[in-house]
Amino acid sequence: TYVVTEVCIKCKYTDCVEVCPVDCFYEGANMLVIHPDECIDCGVCEPECPVDAIKPDTEPELDQWLEVNRQYSETWPNITTKKDAPANADDFVAEPDKFQKYFS
Ligand code: SF4
Ligand code: F3S
């Protein structure tokens, strides 16, 4: 599966949702996640994210993000249409510790 990682938090550009053939993105207040059981591993979303937040779940250090994606995709609403990013999204691209500070 592919997973959305920390860089998405507070950036949320939503380019990714437009290309997913199975519509498996889910939206929180500050981040999107992918439903790991719905993702068909096509990989087309990965290059669409302007901040490289989407990664294939092949690295051990992504286990925590797989869990975040799995847990929150069960309760957050589905999103299939691109929307405007937060007005200050560009200010948060390089922000450290976004999960601790802003995850929602
Ligand atoms: Fe959707 Fe393909 Fe990305 Fe999985 S890898 S979330 S199926 S676009
Ligand atoms: Fe997040 Fe990138 Fe999609 S910032 S909303 S994963 S385009």
User: Tell me, what's the pLDDT at 34?
Assistant: 98
Is residue 70's pLDDT more than 90? yes
**What band does 60 get if pLDDT is binned at 50, 70 and 90?**
confident
Of the candidates 47, 20, 50, the one whose C-alpha atom is nearest the C-alpha of residue 35 is: 20
CB-CB contact of 73 with 26 (8 Å)? yes
Whole-angstrom Cα Rg for the chain? 12
Residue 27 CA to ligand 2 center (angstroms) comes to 10
Q: Is 5 exposed, middle or buried (0-12, 13-18, 19+ CB in 10 A)?
A: buried
The answer for residues whose C-beta is within 8 angstroms of residue 72's C-beta and 6 or more apart is 26, 28, 33
Counting from 1 in the atom list of ligand 2, the atom nearest the Cα of 52 is: 2
Distance 42 CA to ligand 1 centre (A): 5
Locus of tokens 């550009």 = 13
Q: How many CB atoms lie within 10 A of CB 78?
A: 13
**ipTM more than 0.85?**
yes
What's the whole-model pTM score? 0.97
